[in-house]
Every structure is written in structure tokens, then in C-alpha cells.
Amino acid sequence: MTFRRSFKTTRRDFLQAAAATVALGALPLSTWAAAAGAKMKIGIVGSGRVGSALGSVWAHAGHTVMFSSLDLEHDKKLAAEVGHGARAGSSREAAAFGDVVLVSVPYKAMPAVSKDIAALLKGKVVIDTSNPIPTRDGEVGERAREKGAGVASMEYLPGARIVRAFNAVGAARMGEAHKTPGKFGMPIAGDDKQAIEIASALIRDIGYEPVLIGGPEMGRYLVPREALSGERTPDEIRKIAATLK
């Protein structure tokens, strides 16, 4: 009985504090509650190898996932295979659905993503896995590499609370990391404390220990073939990141 009273008090205090934060214009109460370990609604914009791998693990962890891409039939089939309440919809539906939205598209698609759903993402936590690769993404990729991927994504999705993550690890490993939780770190970049806390909880669900390397400007290092590519321990990531500042 004492434990139950204590739990109720703690939960009440947390929700009251969260509500006060919401009143000041910060994250929605549902998203703040998610930071305390509650299950979330996650919209996946881009259900390719990365989006499908991450969405599958999150669904199995108890979160409710909506997959979206340019191929709705593919997404319906994927959702059925994943199970655990996973569903499929359009990119606009996924953006509106998610407390948190994963954007995982070829970077050349970012202008179209911006036009389609940027307004729906304002104020939401967005995990950005998209990498500018000039040989694939042309001028859009070249400009983003010059600016840095973190800064460029903020320009395409103004008002979104962006955390760059999952940018330089293979999709297959993302789907397996939960079997050895915490063994490897996941470098992330962002400047919104609340968004970082929420994204970090989801990253731990995937099986990685999040390691903040800096603000959006450090997102330029979170692309393939940079110093932080591949799986490394959290300490190794911190040591390498210290040399990049």
C-alpha cells in the first residue's frame, strides 16, 4: 500500500510538472509523458531499410508505429508483417499521427518532404536519419554537405525539434542491436534538451547508448564515411567527438 501511494504521488507530481511545461509552450503533454517511459506514437516518414528496421524494433518494444512512403501497398504489407499494432498511411498521416516522427528519406527528397509535411512537424520531436550524398542526391546533397546536414535539415523543417541520429550504422545492425543493449553508442546531434531526452529513450529501445556530440552544427559529422561512422563504444565516440570540436 505504501508503494502504491508513493507511485501515485510521483506520477501526479510528474504530470503536474509536465503540464506546467506545456502551459509555457514546450512539448505536448503526451510527448512529455513519453519521456518518462510511456509508450509513444511514432510516425515513420520513409519506410526503406532504415525506417522499417527502426519501426519494427519500436513496435516490438510496445510503441505504436505508422509506416509511410511513396508506396502505400508496401507499407501496408510491412505493417502486417511487423504486427504489434503497426499501421500504414500517407506521409501527412504519419506526420500528424506521431508524437515523435522519424524522417528517413534520400536527401534529394527533403525539398518535397518540406513542402508536404513541414507545417505538421512544427513543435514535434523529429529524429533525422537522412544523409546528403552528392553522388546520389545531386545539388540538394551538395548544398547540405556544405552547410552541414544538421543545419540543412533545420532549414527544410523549420520549427521541428530535430535530433540527428542513426546516420552512419547499417540498417541490418539497427535491427539487431537490441540483442546486446548498451554495448555500442549512438552519436546524436541537437540543441533541444527535451527532444534529446525523448530521442535518447527511443535510441535505447533500439539497443544503443545515445552520446550527444553537440548541436545541429555537429550534424555534419553524422554521415557515412566520417570519423564517427560504424559501431563504437560510447567512450570511443566521446574521444573522437572531442577531436572534432
| Strand-by-strand arrangement of the 161-164 sheet | 87-88, 64-68, 41-45, 100-103, 125-128, 161-164, 185-189, 209-214
CATH of the domain at 182: 3.40.50.720
Residue 31 belongs to a domain: no
What's the pLDDT score for residue 193?
A: 96
Residue 125 belongs to a domain: yes
**Cβ neighbours of 112 (radius 10 Å):** 13
What's the pLDDT score for residue 13?
A: 47
Residue with cell 564517427: 228
Q: Which residue ranges of the chain lie beneath pLDDT 70?
A: 1-37
- Domain count for the chain: 1
Exposed e or buried b for every residue in 113-147, given b needs 16+ CB within 10 A?
Answer: bbeebbebbeebbbbbbbbbbbeebeebbeebbeb
- Give, for 101, the enclosing helix (H) or strand (E): strand 100-103
